[in-house]
């Protein structure tokens, strides 16, 4: 049995910083979408992040990937982890609050457990995990308000799109476990984002017009934030926290992102979430703690 690492003050600090960075993505994307299209926003994110990552790979003298097979793996990973979820989440933010998008995005951990149990032999769906998944599903249903799905207006479709994005992330996790574990994380990320850019740049160029940097300052700042800080820097920070705190504690970042996104959306964009969304996040957060095992250990210590 693998023991969960104890979080040091430094690990807590970097974990919160990671949550803060990723929580800010939803605000940055929404600001950029005021001037550029959904596909263009994804293309910018992939292109600049890939260039910076390859610069790091070169500087660190990491081995470069060769062969059609590995680039095929990168292409599928780019589709599952970037192209589909980024596009769906960005489009959803045109029609629902950024805070609600962040809440629905946190469902990735719940769906990830389900998908992993179906495709990975060492990820069996235990009673604890199944309970966490059911609680998480209840939280999502509460946040959305299932009665609102009876009429499929743009708001309802946007919420479904955000959930579809999390399902794509879940499959991406399985794909990475199967085919990318032997690669250095920076190389895998650079290859994945390069394939994403190779697809999204011409697609955005064709459907929304040429990529340009002749944009308002706040748009450029938003692109720089979500492409460089929230993609490249956060990726490096993610692996630092993973090494210090372990995978179990790292799941806590999932609980930090929505509150940060909600506060930023309220403070900067004037967004106000319906009470059911906040209640739904509370239920979902408890489900995530059950998945992690933290809630059950706390209850045992209290008994």
Task: Render each residue's pLDDT in the chain as its tens digit; 303 residues.
Answer: 344 456 677 877 888 898 899 999 999 999 999 999 999 999 999 999 999 999 999 999 999 998 999 999 999 999 999 999 999 999 999 999 999 999 999 888 888 888 888 888 777 878 888 888 888 888 888 887 766 666 678 888 999 999 999 999 999 989 998 999 889 999 999 999 999 999 999 999 999 999 999 999 999 999 999 999 999 998 888 888 777 766 666 677 888 889 999 999 999 999 888 888 889 889 888 888 887 776 566 556 655
CB 79 within 8 A of CB 146: no
User: Could you tell me if 76 and 175 are in contact, meaning their C-beta atoms sit under 8 angstroms apart?
Assistant: yes
Residues 6+ apart with CB under 8 A from 96: 155, 158, 159, 162
Between 154-179 and 68-78, two packed helices, what is the crossing angle to 10 degrees? 150
Q: Cβ-count burial of 43 within 10 angstroms (0-12 exposed, 13-18 middle, 19+ buried)?
A: buried
For 115, residues 6+ apart whose C-beta sits below 8 A from its C-beta are: 167, 170, 171, 173, 174
What is the model's pLDDT at position 11? 75
Q: What confidence score (pLDDT) does residue 241 get?
A: 79
Return d(Cα 136, Cα 130) in angstroms, integer: 10
Each domain of the chain, given as residue ranges in start order, spans 9-129+149-267
Listed residue (148, 82, 140, 149) closest to 114, CA to CA: 140
Q: To 10 degrees, the CA torsion angle through 11, 17, 19, 25?
A: -150
């Amino acid at each position: 049995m693998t023991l969960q690492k104890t979080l040091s003050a430094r690990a807590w600090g970097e974990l919160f910083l990671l949550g803060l960075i990723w929580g800010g993505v939803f605000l940055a994307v929404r600001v950029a979408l005021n001037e550029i299209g959904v596909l263009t926003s994804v293309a910018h994110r992939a292109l600049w992040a890939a260039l910076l990552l390859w610069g790091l790979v070169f500087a660190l003298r990491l081995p470069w990937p060769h062969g059609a097979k590995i680039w095929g793996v990168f292409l599928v990973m780019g589709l599952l982890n970037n192209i589909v979820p980024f596009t769906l989440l960005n489009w959803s933010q045109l029609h629902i609050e950024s805070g609600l998008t962040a809440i629905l995005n946190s469902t990735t951990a719940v769906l990830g457990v389900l998908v992993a149990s179906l495709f990975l032999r060492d990820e069996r769906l235990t009673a604890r995990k199944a309970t966490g998944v059911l609680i998480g599903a209840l939280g999502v249903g509460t946040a959305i308000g299932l009665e609102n799905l009876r009429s499929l207006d743009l708001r309802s479709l946007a919420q479904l799109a955000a959930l579809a994005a999390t399902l794509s992330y879940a499959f991406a996790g399985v794909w990475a476990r199967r085919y990318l574990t032997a690669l250095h994380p920076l190389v895998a990320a650079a290859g994945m984002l390069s394939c994403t850019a190779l697809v999204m740049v011409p697609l955005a160029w064709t459907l929304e017009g040429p990529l340009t940097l002749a944009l308002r300052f706040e748009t450029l700042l938003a692109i720089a934030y979500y492409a460089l800080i929230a993609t490249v820097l956060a990726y490096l920070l993610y692996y630092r926290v993973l090494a210090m705190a372990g995978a179990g504690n790292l799941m806590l970042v999932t609980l930090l992102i929505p509150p940060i996104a909600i506060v930023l959306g309220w403070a900067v964009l004037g967004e106000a979430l319906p009470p059911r969304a906040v209640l739904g996040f509370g239920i979902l957060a408890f489900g995530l703690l059950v998945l992690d095992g933290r809630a059950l250990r706390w209850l045992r210590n209290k008994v």
